[in-house]
Amino acid sequence: MSAVLSDLNCNLVNVVLWTRNTRASAVIHLVDQSTNSPITDVDKIRKIKIRLNCILKQRNISAGVKIIVSVGCIKNIERRLHKLMYDEGYFEIDSQDVSGGDTMGPTIMITNWNDKDYSVVTVRCNDRPKLLFDTVCALTDMMYVIFHGNIAIEGPEAYQEFYIRHVNGSKVKDKDRERVIHWLKEAIERRVSEGLKLELSTSDRVGLLRNVTRIFREHSLTVTRADMSSSEGKAFGTFYVRDSSGGAVEQKRFETIREALKESVLHVEEQVGQTSKSTKQSPVNFLRRIVSGNVLFSSWFLISYAK
C-alpha cells in the first residue's frame, strides 16, 4: 500500500497499523506530496481508493475491504482502530475463551448480579500500558455502560472488575456472554504483539515508509503492527515483525537491514510474550489496592481488511 500511495504522489505523515488473526486495520494520514497539504480533490481521493482496492484484490483479500476517508484530525487514533476492528463484526469464538482451558492470556468471567441489575465482568491478565484503555474501549464498542470499577495491580498481574449494563438497561444476556468474553480477549491481546520489535529513527523524506517496508519484504519479514510518525524533519517508527515463513528471525538478518537503511538508526528488541497465568486467588485477596468510582465516556484514510 505504501508503494501505491507513493506512486500517487501522496506523502505519509503518520501510520498506525494493527493486525489480529486474519484481520488488519490501519489509520493513515496523507498529504499531497507537491503542496504538503490535505488531499481534498475528489477525483484524486477516488483514484486512491480504486488503487488500494486493486492492490488488496491482488492479495485475495478484497472481500472484506473497508476504506473510509476523513478530512481533518482524528483525536484518538487507537480508539478509532478499536472501533474499526469491532465494526467488522469478525468473531471466531474459541471454546477456550469461555471454558478457561487456555493456559495463556487473560481470564475473563461474567456473572449477573440480580439484586442490583448489574453484570459483573472480571478480567485477570498480565499488566501492561494502556490495558485499562483497551478494556474500556471494548465494553464501550459493545454498548455497555460502566457504573463502577475496581482496578488493582499486584506484581506483573492486573485485576479489573466492572459493574456494567447495556445501554438498554439490561444485564449481559446468556446468548451474548461468549461474544463479550471473546471480544474483551481480542481487545486485550491484539496490542500484545509477538515477534521482534524494531525501533527506527531517521530523517524524514518522501517515500520513506515505502523503502522501509520494501526492505522488510526483501528480507522475508512480515509486519504485524506498526506505528510511524514524523515531526520537524525527523521520522520515528516502531515495527513488530515476524518471519514470513513463521520461523525464528536470526539476529544477523538485521545487520543486513541496517546496512540497507544506511543512515537510519535501527534498534532491535525482542518482544516478550505473555507469560502463563499465575495460580488463581480470590479477588478479595488480590485487591490490596483498589481504585473505584464512576467512569464517564462521553485527510485520514481508515482501512480495515481481512488478510
pLDDT in tens, 92-139: 555 444 444 454 689 999 999 888 889 999 999 999 989 999 999 999
Residues 178 and 289 in one domain: yes
Residues 170 and 281 in one domain: yes
Average pLDDT over residues 199-225: 87
Residues 253 and 113 in one domain: no
pLDDT of residue 198: 86
Residues 153 and 213 in one domain: no
Residue 269 Cα distances to 20, 198, 254, angstroms: 21, 6, 11
Domain that holds residue 244: 193-273
For the chain, report the end-to-end CA distance as a whole number of angstroms.
13
Percent of the chain with pLDDT over 90: 24
How would residue 11 be classed by pLDDT, with cut points 50, 70 and 90? Answer: confident
* Sole residue written with cell 493456559: 103
Residues 101 and 188 in one domain: yes
> Is the Cβ–Cβ distance between 104 and 188 less than 8 Å?
no
Number of domains, the chain: 2
How would residue 91 be classed by pLDDT, with cut points 50, 70 and 90? Answer: low
Is 24 among the domain residues?
no
pLDDT of residue 288: 31
Is 283 among the domain residues?
yes
How would residue 197 be classed by pLDDT, with cut points 50, 70 and 90? Answer: confident
d(CA 119, CA 142): 14
> Is the Cβ–Cβ distance between 146 and 139 less than 8 Å?
yes
pLDDT of residue 271: 52
Average pLDDT over residues 61-73: 65
Residues 265 and 215 in one domain: yes
Q: Is the pLDDT of residue 28 over 50?
A: yes
The total of other beta-carbon atoms located within 10 Å of residue 124's CB is 19
Is 267 among the domain residues?
yes
Q: Is the pLDDT of residue 303 over 80?
A: no
Residues 133 and 199 in one domain: no
Percent of the chain with pLDDT over 70: 76
pLDDT of residue 30: 85
pLDDT of residue 280: 41
Look up the CATH number of the domain holding residue 238.
Answer: 3.30.70.260
For residue 286, give the DSSP letter.
Answer: H
